[in-house]
Structure 1
Amino acid sequence: MTTVSILLLCWNHSAYLEQCIAALAAQDRDGVELLFLDNGSSDGSVDQAKALFDRHGLTATILCNAEPKGIAANLNLLLARSAGALVAPLSTDDWYEPGYVAAMRRQAAADPQAGWFACDGYLFFEDSGERAPIRSDDFRGGRVLDDLLDGKNPHNFVGCCYRREALEAVGGWDERLPIEDRDLFVRLAQRYPVSIVERRLVNYRRSSQAASADPAFMARGWAAYFAKHRDLFGPRLARQRAAALQGVAAVAVDRGELLLAARLIRAALLAAPASLPSWRTAAYLLRTMVSARRRSGGAGSAPP
């Protein structure tokens, strides 16, 4: 039986641990090791996790950081402490559907050339409590490097399972990058195909407080990612950089961070002046600025 290491990363997730750990208890247990790393939580997550593992009859290795570290550093630590032939990282605010472990084992046996495995899943919107299927019409397996360099998402990024030998061959997660997942996929895709499990087996929690909702953080992450892979992108670099900046700028407008949005959309248009999405976001920014001025009593000097 192929051994599986589930790498659990927690940071102030006390409100979510019951859901995550109960879902782990519903998985196959034979040949599965659980490693739980608390990233300096201040909400009692460690004690709660220990109690929940005991309650559900699960054995887990508990690790604790005195101070928070980056996601990539934490995942590399968990990888080094684990032993499974298959490695499945999971943030403890997310959770698996029943059958995840069994499905990944079957897929690994059926596709021995693949370096990693992805599944379909659900988005759970914490602010509203709604759950929706992640759109998977364009997901595909095989060689996906060109898709990644074209800015596409050829598979669900949450709930992936990796062959240990593939992770080790590419050096694990890059601790210099704030956005660690897409960088890992680009490096894996240069060596291995990905294999898709066409079942919805993971739930990804979306929150307005998540790092991915922080436009300043995402802008820094994209800058580091494109700088690292500049040569690999080649002539696609300007277009993909503009697309990433445009997306982050739109989030900044949504959050009312208008000066940051203006800087980002300017950079996007300088990178790719003909980008229609960037011009649409620029128009969205201008409309929002006009509305803000009117609300603050500056209607007399605002453009029509």
Structure 2
Amino acid sequence: MPLVTDSISSLVSHPTDAVTWVTVICTCFNHEAYVEKALQSVVDQTYPYVELIIIDNDSSDHSVDQIINFITRHPTARFIQNPQNLGLNRAFNLGLSLAKGRYVVDLSADDVLLPTRLEKQVAQFEMLSDTYAVVFSNATYIDSLGSAIGLHYPINAHGQARARIPSGNVFKNILETYFICTPTMLMRRDVLNQLGGYDESLAYEDFDFWVRSARTYQYAYLDEVLTLKRRLPTSLSAQVSYTDNKLLESTLVVCQKAYGLCQTPDEFAALTSRLSQFIRKAFYTEQFELVERFGELLQRIERPDLLTYLVLLLGQLRVPVNSLYRFFLRQRRSPASTF
């Protein structure tokens, strides 16, 4: 059983319905160098009604020591220490089962919330109808030392995104490309509960959540940099280039769900384009069975184009390309996700 540390009769730990509360669920695994800064960024929010739930996923470094030092100073935080690594999705769902806020933030212990983030996102959410499930924003990417290395959306001289960021009904956009910076999301808790939380059978959370929630609900973009997203060589998104990664297998499951949710020719076209991308990624990581299975799903919709057909053929021939692929990625690595 997890060890739970909770304050007693604390207003912050036990939100009421009189005000709009936000629950920040911070999941930690071997983030000793960053977790205190992540937690401090929650305490430093200008928005006063914040419930903080911290979950350590059996870290083997000194993360727990850092967390205990933090809650000694901030006893209203709730701390759950898992005796084993439950995985990101299951750990988050554990926090979600305890959450009381109307809105929820999924905070990785190496990321940072800028001080006005929750105040601004809650204000926008409160102006929206119940058809909206998510408010998301721009983010600055930082390295291990906290130095800025890029932006999720390039901005102009006024700090606004140069390109139009999809808002409203974004289901087709989510199928087309990765465009939401995951840690910037403020999510409605009732929507998360309605969906059953994150799918615990998957290796990662965001694509599946986007597909399932965006089919029914709308998304709103707040055009400001409100989060610092840390990019590390050990980040989950960096693992997609390795032959033993489990991300693409989970992606296939999500694509199968998306296939069942598509309703229009444009949506199916967006999915086929994305499937062609995942076929190439599976090939580059030499996961040849997944190449075939992605191809089978694609062919339920349409015949593959020439390039995709050639990749499917090379996949059948088990052509080894991963070393060359990883060398290519190292040469062109950018702050944007490789996934």
TM range (shorter): 0.7 to 0.9
In the alignment, what sits opposite 2:247?
218
After TM superposition, the structure 1 stretch with the greater mean CA deviation from structure 2, 222-231 or 117-126, is 222-231
Answering whether residue 44 of structure 2 is matched by residue 26 of structure 1, we say yes
The answer to whether structure 1 residue 229 and structure 2 residue 258 are counterparts is yes
| CA–CA separation in structure 2 for the residues paired with 1:141 and 1:153 | 14
Asked if 1:64 corresponds to 2:100, the answer is no
Q: TM-score, normalised by structure 2?
A: 0.72
Name structure 1 gaps, 5 residues minimum.
253-259, 292-304
Q: 2:180 aligns with which of 142, 151, 155?
A: 155
SS in 2 for 1:158: helix
Tell me by how many angstroms 1:181 deviates.
1.0
- Do the aligned partners of 2:28 and 2:55 also contact (CA within 8 Å) in 1? yes
TM-score norm. by structure 1 comes to 0.80
Q: What corresponds to 2:55 in structure 1?
A: 37
Letter in 2 for 1:54: T
Distance 2:192 2:323 in 1: 46
Q: How many residue pairs end up in the alignment? A: 278
Q: Percent of aligned pairs with the same residue? A: 23
Q: 1:188 to 1:132 in 2, by over 3 A?
A: same
Q: Contact (CA 8 Å) 1:115, 1:163: kept in 2 or not?
A: yes
Kept in 2: contact 1:155–1:196 (CA 8 A): no
Identify if the C-alpha distance between structure 1 residues 269 and 130 changes in structure 2 by more than 3 Å, giving closer, same or farther: farther
Letter aligned with residue 124 of structure 1: I
Return the letter of the residue paired with 2:92: L
Query: 1:141 maps to what in 2?
Result: 167
Could you tell me which amino acid in structure 2 is paired with residue 11 of structure 1? F
Q: Trace 1:76-115 onto structure 2 (pairs within 5 A).
A: 76-113=93-130, 114-115=132-133
Q: 1:255 is matched with which residue?
A: none
Structural mapping, 1:242-257, within 5 Å: 242-247=276-281, 252=285
More helix as a share of residues: 1
For the Cα contact (< 8 Å) 1:120–1:197, is it kept in 2? yes
Q: Is the 8 A contact 1:127 1:207 kept in 2?
A: no
Q: SS in structure 2 opposite 1:214?
A: helix
Q: What CA deviation, in whole Å up to 9, does each residue of 1:7-40 have, x standing for no partner? A: 0100011011132122222203622110000001
Shift of 1:134: 0.9
Alpha-carbon distance in 1 for matches of 2:145, 2:279: 25
CA–CA distance in structure 2, aligned partners of residues 51 and 286 of structure 1: 43
Task: Name the structure 2 match of 1:295.
Answer: none
